[in-house]
Structure 1
Amino acid sequence: MAMSAPMFTMPEPDAVHNASEKSLPVLASYPTLSKRGLLVRIRDAIREPMAEFIGVAIFVIIGAGSDCQVVLSSNSRVAASPKGEYLSLNFGWAIGEGLRGFRQIIADARMEGLALAVWITLALATQRGFPWKKVPVYIFSQVMGGLVGAALVYAQYFHAIDIFEGGRHQRTQQTAGLFATYALDYMTAVSCFFAEFLGTAILAFMIMAATDKNNAAPPLYLLPLVIFLTLLGLGVALGMQTAFAFNPARDFGPRLFLSMAGYGKAVYTYRRQVPISADGTEIRPDGVSRKFNLAYGLQYWLWCPILAPVTGAQVAVAFYDLFLHKSGGANAVSDQRDIDASHGA
């Protein structure tokens, strides 16, 4: 028996159009191409500054968090036993600094354009052709990252801080030093400046060497390890006397937060107000009285954790470009500009 061929009928065009509209009702909620283009432009505009912000925030969260855990747990009313020692603090800040190296991978930033620190940003701008138009935004993002990172750690530990200080709303330098940096009492102004200058110069030098594409630089994914080992070594070797800021944003951001969190202007007047005896000598906190010196009477928060790292980085980058950059110092800027151009900077 013969089988009849199946019959196919084409639906009317209007029916197809109506069915499509009914089956995809959510399309109306999607942004139009113009709206999506605007969102992409906004994201591209804030991508690098946001990476700076997040990187510094993570750095401060891990570093200041380790400070709080180690120091606050030394009080028996906070913890039954101490939760770390001085080496733990060094590991905390070094791990935080190493993790910041992943900013370069996350943001897909160029290797020579790695920032994450005020001194790197300024050094690259003055000596490597980094766009000056980006400098204010980068620095602001880094400082705000430090502020927010400190605020998050403070929110985590403020109950323990209350216990450690002996009462709520009592705030002293003992706990301020968990977030911002303070020098030991016997340190003079020159000694403080030199400590921050030297440590930052070494850190900047190592970063320049590790990111020099003409000098057998390690793979990008090893950069965080290089940064981690460098800061860990600096912390255990040079960190005791000034708490190794080595980064203006790491100190100034948390210091800004402290001034708003109950510590007041004391975070800025540190080393400016020292009692003077009748014979014109200063009465130091350690009980030793001697003639007035430049360790006091100056803006410590400005010249030690800000100006010293910036100066140290400038010297380190200039030294590297002059003596070790494969093409010579004169071509370091042109190399940077070539990288900028290839990335559309």
Structure 2
Amino acid sequence: MDGMLRVSSMPKMESNYMGEPDVAMMSTGPAHNGVFQTKSPLFRECMAEFLGMFVFMLFGTGVVAQVVLSEGTKGEFISINFCWGLGILFGIHVCGGVSGAHLNPAVTMTLALFGRFEWKKVPCYVVVQMLAAFLAAAIVGMVYDPLITVSDPHKKSTQGIFATYPYSNDVPIGTCFMTEVVGTALLVGCLFAIGDEMNKPASPYSQPGAVTLLVVAIGMAFGMNTGYAINPARDLGPRLFTFCAGWGPRCSR
């Protein structure tokens, strides 16, 4: 998970989060004449980032759907926190060795700002993160469509399964904004700390677990006001899905 974690050592794509040579920087000569092989390192990185984000979002959106539609009988808020964390864990393992497992436009842009990632790659990463989040929301929507139809036939109240919304009207927009700023700052700052080799970082083998616990902790501490998006793609991709899938203008509230 070099993009997130190895922030003080070497340029981003020289090694992955396990400290091994990055696949994206290895020889692009095909070992086999496979149909699905590509010689483009950027395309390979983007496809890996897409798959990692897709897995992450499937777990996260799926657990929210299960808890909401079962009215808490098949899980509760702590289930949501832990499953989002586990989604990050498996997303890292899916794509970390190729793309760096950013899984978040905020992480991608922060790395670019600090010179740890090439700016020319930022638009590609952000686009695939958004697309993966949209597709994952669509898959969860299809899986749970029968229960959504029973629970909310007119699609007036279940958009919160997919995107994040204020806990209630008692939470003003300014407080929501501040909550997201604090949560995202904690996420990015702690990611840098975890991977800083001058700061006794976590072992490369334990770094994905440390990131998992970080996401869980942010959810437990700052999840109430807004649902802790702390990730523009995690929120905007599914929000666009709800707009397209029948929730309409309600998805923007």
TM-score norm. by structure 1 comes to 0.60
Q: CA deviation at 1:92?
A: 1.4
Paired AA for residue 44 in structure 1: P
Match status 1:254 vs 2:251 = no
Paired AA for residue 117 in structure 1: N
Using the alignment, how far apart are the partners of 1:105 and 1:191 within structure 2?
34
Paired AA for residue 183 in structure 1: P
Name 1:164's counterpart in structure 2. 151
Name 1:238's counterpart in structure 2. 222
- After superposing the two structures, state which structure 1 stretch, 98-107 or 256-265, moved more: 98-107
Indicate the RMSD between aligned Cα atoms, in angstroms: 2.1
Listed one character per residue, the Cα deviations across residues 61-106 of structure 1 (whole Å, up to 9, x for unaligned) are: 11111111111112xxxxxx81111111111111112222224544
Using the alignment, how far apart are the partners of 1:162 and 1:60 within structure 2?
22
Name 2:249's counterpart in structure 1. 265
Name 2:109's counterpart in structure 1. 122
Match status 1:88 vs 2:72 = no
Match status 1:187 vs 2:171 = yes
Name 1:142's counterpart in structure 2. 129
Name 1:61's counterpart in structure 2. 58
* Bigger-Rg structure (1/2): 1
Using the alignment, how far apart are the partners of 2:197 and 2:94 within structure 1?
18
Listed one character per residue, the Cα deviations across residues 207-237 of structure 1 (whole Å, up to 9, x for unaligned) are: 1111223333222221221111111111111
Q: Which runs of 5+ in 1 are unaligned?
A: 1-32, 75-80, 271-345
Name 1:215's counterpart in structure 2. 199
Listed one character per residue, the Cα deviations across residues 273-292 of structure 1 (whole Å, up to 9, x for unaligned) are: xxxxxxxxxxxxxxxxxxxx
SS at match of 1:115: coil
Listed one character per residue, the Cα deviations across residues 15-63 of structure 1 (whole Å, up to 9, x for unaligned) are: xxxxxxxxxxxxxxxxxx8x94996444634211112111111111111
- After superposing the two structures, state which structure 1 stretch, 151-160 or 53-62, moved more: 53-62
Bigger relative contact order, structure 1 or 2, given CA contacts below 8 A and separation 6+?
A: 2
- Paired residues in the alignment total 222
Paired AA for residue 60 in structure 1: M
Counterpart selection for 2:92 from 89, 95, 101? 101
Paired AA for residue 51 in structure 2: I
> Are the counterparts in 2 of residues 100 and 224 from structure 1 also a CA contact under 8 Å?
no
Listed one character per residue, the Cα deviations across residues 273-325 of structure 1 (whole Å, up to 9, x for unaligned) are: xxxxxxxxxxxxxxxxxxxxxxxxxxxxxxxxxxxxxxxxxxxxxxxxxxxxx
Using the alignment, how far apart are the partners of 2:136 and 2:204 within structure 1?
26
Listed one character per residue, the Cα deviations across residues 153-196 of structure 1 (whole Å, up to 9, x for unaligned) are: 1111000000111x3xx112x21001100002111121011100
Q: Kindly tell me: are residues 215 and 171 of structure 1, through their superposed partners in 2, closer, same or farther at Cα, counting changes over 3 Å?
A: same
Using the alignment, how far apart are the partners of 1:243 and 1:226 within structure 2?
21
Paired AA for residue 91 in structure 1: F
Paired AA for residue 60 in structure 2: G
> Are the counterparts in 2 of residues 101 and 227 from structure 1 also a CA contact under 8 Å?
no
Using the alignment, how far apart are the partners of 1:37 and 1:90 within structure 2?
40
SS at match of 1:236: helix
Paired AA for residue 176 in structure 1: Q
> Are the counterparts in 1 of residues 51 and 95 from structure 2 also a CA contact under 8 Å?
no
Using the alignment, how far apart are the partners of 2:198 and 2:33 within structure 1?
40
Match status 1:206 vs 2:190 = yes
Of all paired residues, the percent bearing the same amino acid is 36
Using the alignment, how far apart are the partners of 2:123 and 2:237 within structure 1?
15
Paired AA for residue 121 in structure 1: T
Q: CA deviation at 1:251?
A: 0.3
> Are the counterparts in 1 of residues 49 and 95 from structure 2 also a CA contact under 8 Å?
no
Using the alignment, how far apart are the partners of 1:39 and 1:126 within structure 2?
33
Using the alignment, how far apart are the partners of 1:85 and 1:132 within structure 2?
40
SS at match of 2:215: helix
SS at match of 1:265: helix
